[in-house]
């Protein structure tokens, strides 16, 4: 994916045109009140520039911020206008943005002096004053996460962006592993009860991931755009508003998820011939449902703190909850002799503790500036959120379902192929934890820069992200290729399975390069609010190319497991 600013576009300046709710923007989609205007594909990468001269101070008391939200709510029924950006403003150094910050009131975000005008979620994202400010690299502006937290002249360079993305990514890597361990602890605890129980918990986890947790995580990606851009534009009161809307939306989505999980036994009996495993898996899902609202709140809360650059917050929460979850699995399953039912009880309790611990962190440690209390405005104007949430969900579920289909297909090849595919699927998850956290960090970083109105810095962020994706992919390729004879022995002692894995690893390793680029390109699209493009591309490549090629080569040409991995490699390459 090539994302770039052309020098010609950068030098054209900016022209503004107000568009109402009923008037279509030149990109073909109408901008709604509180959603930042999306980049137009007509001019390379078009970065929306928000209001930066009208920024509320971080020292405003809560009542003043609630008045801002109420003002936005009262005006939500009016024909509000947003700014349609037609050209990128002139930046002195497209690859190096320098400006001086004065009156910095916070080491996380600096704010300009208050004036008589106030911003709300219906305020146009670009004014004539902002155009002039964007042309002056030393103008006083709101400084979001693109700053290093110090007063004075701040420069955005390749080196600085690289350091920031690495700093953001490292805690995210451990966060992803710890969150994955929540379900992994159940597999370990229940696995020693017997193979029937092990099969049941694996079946229940797969079902809950596909029908529930991926749904929550995918829909919550709308906050990667909304919260990060709002925070970058110096409007922290909108970050809390977007959080409330998303939590309400996810709780409503829990209703159909609950219907599926409560009917889990009947559904699984139609999929698997093992009746006892299906019944136990259905029981697991019924108990797990008690923790679904808490998990949904935590998925939204993660984006709330990440938008503020607080990437350690989720790590601290999971450092407490993950060991506690493992302890409760042992306590309920073995010490209290609850058996199989103890595992979902432990996970459900943990899922409800996650948002509670995160709230305690925000309230007592950091991140409280973006929370201004509950408001009825969260019940209105959901379209901008849904417009980003649904394509984000499609992007995530498309890849997840693709690999689940491949795993099911491998079962029809042979028992050996199924065992080898299980090992490769596990390896795929492990290697994905290197590029995926980078994509999360890049999404937040880019959205902050776009919200702050810095197209040159945004371009630097994009270039650094893609370079890091290539490095992450190359690292995985070298590691897997070099250790291809040793890695399978970690998972199995069967020589036939080991040989099959060794034969597939070269193609599997090449797949890692494409997977890293796709993951980070998806993160950049989320940062720009272009989830719709990512959704269409994901569906087309996975189900129009990857799955047909995989099944055709594996079964039609008798390519076995090697053929199954041919499809995803080609699909991700395209």
Mean of pLDDT over the chain = 77
Structure tokens that stand for 416 in this block: 């050996």
Structure tokens that stand for 355 in this block: 């948002």
Q: pLDDT of 488-535, one tens digit each?
A: 888 878 889 889 999 999 999 988 999 999 999 999 999 999 988 988
Q: Residue 295 and residue 305: Cα distance in Å, rounded?
A: 16
Counted residue by residue, the chain has a size of 574
Task: Please report, for residues 22, 35, 139, 435, the alpha-carbon distance to residue 31 in angstroms, rounded to integers and kept in the order given.
Answer: 9, 7, 28, 32
Residue 236: DSSP 8-state: H
Q: pLDDT of 147-160, one tens digit each?
A: 443 333 345 789 89
Residue 117: exposed, middle, or buried by beta-carbon count in 10 A (0-12, 13-18, 19+)?
Answer: exposed
Q: Are 37 and 122 in contact (CB under 8 A)?
A: no
Per-residue pLDDT, averaged over 264-280, amounts to: 88
CB atoms within 10 A of CB 200: 27
Helix (H) or strand (E) holding 49: none
Q: Which of 113, 109, 111 is closest to 149 using CA atoms?
A: 109
Q: pLDDT of 61-107, one tens digit each?
A: 455 555 555 554 444 333 233 222 233 343 333 333 333 222 322 33
Q: Residue 180 and residue 46: Cα distance in Å, rounded?
A: 36
Please calculate the CA angle 240-384-395 and round it to the nearest 5 degrees. 100
Cα torsion for 396, 399, 405, 406, to the nearest 10°? -150
Q: Are 494 and 407 in contact (CB under 8 A)?
A: no
Q: What is the pLDDT of residue 156?
A: 76
Structure tokens that stand for 413 in this block: 């090849």
Q: Residue 541 and residue 547: Cα distance in Å, rounded?
A: 9
Q: pLDDT of 197-247, one tens digit each?
A: 888 888 899 899 999 999 999 999 999 999 999 999 899 999 999 999 999
Q: Where are the beta strands (DSSP E) in 453-572?
A: none
With a cut of 60, say whether residue 22 has pLDDT above it.
Answer: no
Task: Please report, for residues 356, 386, 411, the alpha-carbon distance to residue 360 in angstroms, rounded to integers and kept in the order given.
Answer: 6, 28, 46
């Amino acid at each position: 994916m090539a994302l770039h600013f052309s020098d010609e576009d950068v030098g054209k300046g900016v022209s503004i045109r107000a568009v109402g709710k009923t008037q279509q923007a030149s990109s073909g989609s109408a901008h709604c009140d509180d959603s930042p205007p999306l980049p137009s594909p007509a001019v390379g990468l078009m970065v929306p520039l928000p209001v930066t001269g009208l920024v509320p101070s971080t020292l405003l008391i809560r009542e003043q911020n609630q008045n801002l939200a109420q003002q936005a709510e009262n005006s939500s029924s009016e024909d509000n206008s947003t700014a349609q950006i037609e050209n990128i403003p002139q930046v002195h150094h497209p690859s190096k943005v320098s400006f001086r910050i004065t009156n910095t009131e916070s080491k996380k975000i600096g704010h300009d002096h208050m004036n008589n005008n106030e911003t709300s979620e219906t305020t146009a994202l670009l004014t004539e004053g902002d155009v002039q400010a964007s042309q002056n690299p030393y103008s006083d502006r709101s400084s979001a996460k693109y700053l290093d937290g110090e007063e004075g002249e701040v420069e955005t360079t390749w080196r600085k962006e690289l350091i920031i993305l690495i700093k953001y990514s490292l805690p995210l890597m451990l966060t992803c592993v710890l969150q994955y361990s929540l379900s992994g602890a159940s597999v370990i605890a229940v696995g020693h009860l017997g193979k029937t129980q092990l099969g049941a918990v694996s079946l229940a986890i797969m079902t809950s991931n596909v029908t529930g947790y991926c749904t929550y995580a995918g829909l919550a990606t709308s906050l990667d755009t909304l919260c990060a851009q709002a925070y970058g534009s110096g409007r922290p009161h909108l970050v809390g508003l977007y959080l409330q809307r998303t939590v309400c939306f996810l709780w409503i989505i829990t209703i159909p998820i609950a219907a599926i999980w409560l009917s889990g036994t009947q559904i699984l009996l139609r999929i698997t011939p093992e009746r006892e495993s299906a019944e136990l898996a259905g029981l697991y899902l019924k108990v797990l449902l008690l923790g679904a609202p808490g998990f949904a709140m935590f998925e939204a809360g993660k984006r709330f703190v990440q938008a503020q650059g607080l990437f350690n917050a989720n790590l601290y929460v999971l450092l407490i909850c993950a060991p506690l979850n493992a302890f409760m699995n042992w306590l309920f399953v073995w010490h209290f002799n609850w058996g199989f039912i103890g595992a979902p009880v432990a996970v459900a309790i943990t899922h409800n503790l996650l948002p509670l611990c995160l709230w305690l962190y925000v309230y007592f440690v950091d991140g409280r500036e973006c929370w201004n209390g509950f408001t009825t405005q969260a019940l209105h104007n959901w379209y901008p959120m849904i417009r980003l949430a649904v394509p984000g969900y499609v992007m995530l579920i498309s890849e997840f379902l693709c690999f689940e289909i491949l795993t099911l297909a491998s079962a029809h090849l042979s028992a050996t192929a199924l065992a080898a595919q299980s090992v490769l699927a596990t390896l795929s998850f492990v290697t994905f934890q290197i590029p995926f956290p980078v994509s999360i960090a890049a999404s937040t970083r880019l959205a902050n820069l776009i919200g702050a109105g810095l197209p040159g810095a945004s371009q630097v962020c994009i270039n650094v992200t893609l370079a890091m994706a290539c490095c992450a992919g190359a690292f995985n390729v070298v590691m897997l290729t070099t250790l291809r004879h040793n890695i399978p022995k970690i998972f199995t002692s069967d020589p036939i399975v080991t040989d099959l894995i060794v034969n597939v690893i070269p193609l599997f390793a090449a797949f890692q390069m494409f997977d890293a680029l796709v993951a980070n390109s998806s993160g950049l699209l989320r940062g720009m609010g272009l989830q719709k493009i990512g959704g269409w591309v994901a569906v087309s490549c996975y189900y129009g190319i990857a799955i047909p090629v995989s099944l055709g080569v594996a079964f039609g040409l008798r390519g076995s497991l090697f053929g199954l991995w041919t499809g995803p490699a080609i699909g991700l390459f395209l």
